[in-house]
């Protein structure tokens, strides 16, 4: 199992970014969380198969149709720390 934390910047709040990310993550069999940050970014933490994490990383580069993604920062994350059962939004 692999895990990663992403910080997505751009027009990513108020455009169904978290809900769309959740749909993508569930489709890929991932678990984790997507949440808005006070500074306007969206944080995504996901755990699962490495190829699924990579597919989510590619999707996050553009997000849903109404979004405008400027940058995506990625860092490895402790898969054991992702304790959510399923994929949640916060």
The whole-number pLDDT of residue 43 equals: 96
88 vs 1, residue with greater confidence: 1
Q: What pTM does this model have?
A: 0.91
Give pLDDT tens digits for 31-83. 999 999 999 999 999 999 999 999 999 999 999 999 999 999 999 988 777 75
d(CA 73, CA 84) in angstroms, rounded, equals 22
Sheet holding 2-11, edge to edge: 68-76, 2-11, 42-48, 31-36, 87-89
The whole-number pLDDT of residue 70 equals: 98
The whole-number pLDDT of residue 85 equals: 55
Positions marked catalytic: 18, 36
The whole-number pLDDT of residue 82 equals: 75
In sequence order, which residues have a C-beta less than 8 Å from that of residue 19 and are 6 or more positions away?
89
Residue 18 has pLDDT above 80, yes or no: yes
């Amino acid at each position: 199992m692999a895990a990663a934390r992403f910080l997505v910047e751009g027009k990513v709040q108020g455009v169904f970014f978290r809900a769309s990310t959740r749909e993508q993550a569930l489709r890929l069999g991932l678990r984790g969380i997507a949440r808005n940050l006070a500074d306007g970014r969206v944080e995504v933490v996901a755990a699962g198969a490495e190829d699924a994490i990579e597919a989510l990383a590619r999707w996050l580069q553009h997000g849903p149709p109404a979004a405008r993604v400027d940058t995506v920062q990625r860092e490895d994350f402790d898969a054991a720390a992702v304790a959510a059962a399923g994929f949640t939004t916060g």
